[in-house]
Structure 1
Amino acid sequence: MVAIKIFLDKRRGTKEDTYPLNYRIYHSGKSTTRSAKIYLRDDQWDAKKKLVRNNHPESKLLNKRLLKDYPCIPQLNCRSIPLQFH
C-alpha cells in the first residue's frame, strides 16, 4: 500500500524565507521524497488542511495544481520521473 504525505520542508529555507513543498511517498517500508516545485512562506501553508492559504496571491491556482498532482503520484505513468526507493 502507498501512503503519501505533503509537507513544507522547513529544513531547506531560501534567502527569501520560503520553503519547498514536498511529497513524501511510503511504500513497502521504504520512502522517497519528491518536490512539488512550489515554494511558500511558513504563513502561506496550512499544514492541517494541506492547502495553500488565501494570503498567497496564487493560492487558488496552486491548490488546484496540488489536488491534480496528488492522485497521480502513486501511479508511475502519471510522472515522467520514476520512483526509486532507497
Structure 2
Amino acid sequence: MHAPQTLEGEQVWELSRRLNGQVQWFPGAVVGWNMAGAFALAASLCIDERAVGEFLPVIEGVMARAVTTQARGNGDGGNG
C-alpha cells in the first residue's frame, strides 16, 4: 500500500475516507465522487483545495475501478 508522503497528501487521503455518502453510481459501475461535495467537505476541514484538486482525482479513479470490479464479482479489488 502506498502511504501519503506529505501532510497535504495525508489530509486528502483522510478526506477520501469520509466520502462514502458522495459516491455517484451508474448501473453496474461507480462513476466517482460528487466533487462539489468533496470540495465543500475539504473546505470545512480546512484542507488545501490545490492538494484536493491534485490528489483526489487519482484516489477517485483507483476507488472507482476497485469498487466496480468487486461489484461485478471479480473480487480482486481492481488489481488483476
TM-score (norm. length: structure 2): 0.33
Greater relative CO, 1 or 2 (CA 8 Å, sep 6+) = 2
TM-score (norm. length: structure 1): 0.32
